[in-house]
Amino acid sequence: MSKFGNKKKNTIQTFIKKKAKGEKIVVLTAYDAFMASLLDRAGVDSLLVGDSASNVLHGHKSTLPITMDIMVAHTAAVARGTEHALIIADMPFLSFQPSIETAILNAGRFLKEGGAEAVKIEGGLEMVSTVKRVIECGIPVMGHIGLTPQSIHRFGGPKVQGRKDKSQTYLKESALALEEVGCFSCVLELMETETAAAITSSLKTMATIGIGAGPNCDGQVLVINDMLGLMDEGFRPKFLRQYADLPPVITEAVKAFIADVTSGQYPSEDESY
Ligand code: KIV
């Protein structure tokens, strides 16, 4: 029994069982220990240490600049704050594309140094042989198809995927191939609802986790900063439901601190030694 009750540690089997029972899977991103602990205690099934950290924490315009070392540090922090949720680390740009050996060694770092229990690898059919070898090495893999942000320049922007026959066929074949080599789950990002629904129902064991892919996936994921309102003002994709608006709360707290310090009201006698 853990300090948060007798709920067990989630594993990749949790995803597979939930899909089989038709129970929705809830995933959020996390990048640090404190937030991970909050989300874990709130009851999410899994925490994804997304390479979205590049945008939402480090201020880059894309996910391309973030490095393995930074992602491993974020993953280790999340692992320190998590008791129950399955921890999935996102493999950053060029940490798996150059060769299968590179992919295995970097995926292994997330388990050895970061305390992750699975990794996420972007890409469909073209990545299947890499994903297969990583899984054969004992490292569970979550796939990621649809709009894969590491290829944003190839897509020419955040364009909804699966709208044309050719793209639908590629996505469906990719999902089946990823399931075949043993992925336990797969993110479907920015994809037409019907395509995501068809993919989800065609899969027996690989759970689909949607983001901008409609309601018929086996689960949903959001970037924690986005759902709390902690993102650029210009970033308002249609799929994003904002569950809190933290910027005004933070601004008010900081303004109150500035006022108290400048007027000499902080610290008080009680707050002094
Ligand atoms: O990096 C990330 O946060 C992701 C999710 C949006 C799926 O890949």
pLDDT digit string (tens) for 80-132?
999 999 999 999 999 999 999 999 999 999 999 999 999 999 999 999 999 99
262 occurs within a structural domain: yes
Q: Whose CA is nearest to atom 5 of ligand 1?
A: 50
Residue 24: closest CA among 242, 184, 207, 183: 207
Does 87 share its domain with 112? yes
- Expressed in angstroms and rounded, the spacing between residue 169 Cα and the centre of ligand 1 is 23
Phi, psi of 228 (to 5 degrees): -100, 0
Does residue 102 lie within any of the structural domains?
A: yes
Q: Is the pLDDT of residue 161 over 90?
A: no
The Å distance, Cα 145 to ligand 1 centre, comes to 11
138 and 233 part of one domain: yes
Contacts with 266 (C-beta within 8 Å, 6 or more apart), sequence order: 257, 260
Burial class (CB in 10 A: 0-12, 13-18, 19+), 182: middle
Q: In whole angstroms, give the CA distance from residue 206 to residue 185.
A: 5
Q: In this structure, which residue's CA is closest to atom 2 in ligand 1?
A: 50
2 pLDDT above the threshold of 80 = no
- Out of 25, 71, 221, mutate this one to test ligand 1's pocket (max ligand atoms within 8 Å of CB): namely 221
Asked if residue 227 and residue 178 are part of one domain, the reply reads yes
pLDDT of residue 37: 98
5, part of any domain: no
What is the count of structural domains for the chain?
A: 2
pLDDT value of residue 74: 98
DSSP structure string for 1-62: -BTTBSPPPP-HHHHHHHHHHT--EEEEE--SHHHHHHHHHHT-SEEEE-TTHHHHTT--SS
How far CA 136 is from CA of 26, 104, 129, in Å, comes to 27, 10, 11
Q: Which of 117, 122, 179, 189 is catalytic?
A: 189
Cβ < 6 A, ligand 1 pocket: 29, 48, 50-52, 90, 187, 189, 211, 221, 223
Rounded Cα distance, 16 and 51, in Å:
24
Residues of the domain holding 152: 12-242
Checking if the pLDDT of 137 tops 70, the result is yes
For residue 67, what pLDDT is reported?
98
Active site residue 189: yes
Together in a domain, 112 and 172: yes
209 and 251 in one domain? no
Same domain, 260 and 177: no
- The verdict on 222 and 258 lying in the same domain is no
Cβ(72)–Cβ(109) below 8 Å: yes
The domain that holds 119 is classified in CATH as 3.20.20.60
Say if 2 falls within a structural domain: no
pLDDT at 7 over 70: no
Question: pTM for this structure?
Answer: 0.96
In a domain, 17, yes or no: yes
63's CB contacts (< 8 A; 6+ apart) are 51, 52, 54, 55, 92, 93, 149, 150, 152
One domain for residues 126 and 254: no
Phi, psi of 146 (to 5 degrees): 100, -135
If you ran DSSP here, which 8-state letter would residue 123 be given?
B
Convert the pLDDT of each residue in 11-63 to its tens digit.
Answer: 999 999 999 999 999 999 999 999 999 999 999 999 999 999 999 999 999 99
Ligand 1 centroid to residue 122 C-alpha, Å: 10
CB-count burial class (<10 Å; 0-12, 13-18, 19+) for 268: exposed
Do both 101 and 187 map to the same domain? yes
Q: What is the pLDDT of residue 235?
A: 87
Domain shared by 92 and 198, yes or no: yes
pLDDT computed for residue 4 by the predictor: 47
pLDDT of residue 5: 52
Rounded to the nearest angstrom, the gap between the alpha carbon of residue 199 and the centroid of all alpha carbons in its chain is 20
Residues 30 and 85 in one domain: yes
Residue 98 lies in a domain: yes
Answer whether residue 4 is part of any domain.
Answer: no
Q: Would you say residue 7 lies in a domain?
A: no
Are 194 and 265 contained in the same domain? no
pLDDT tens figures, 204-258: 999 999 999 999 999 999 999 999 999 988 889 999 999 999 999 999 999 999 9
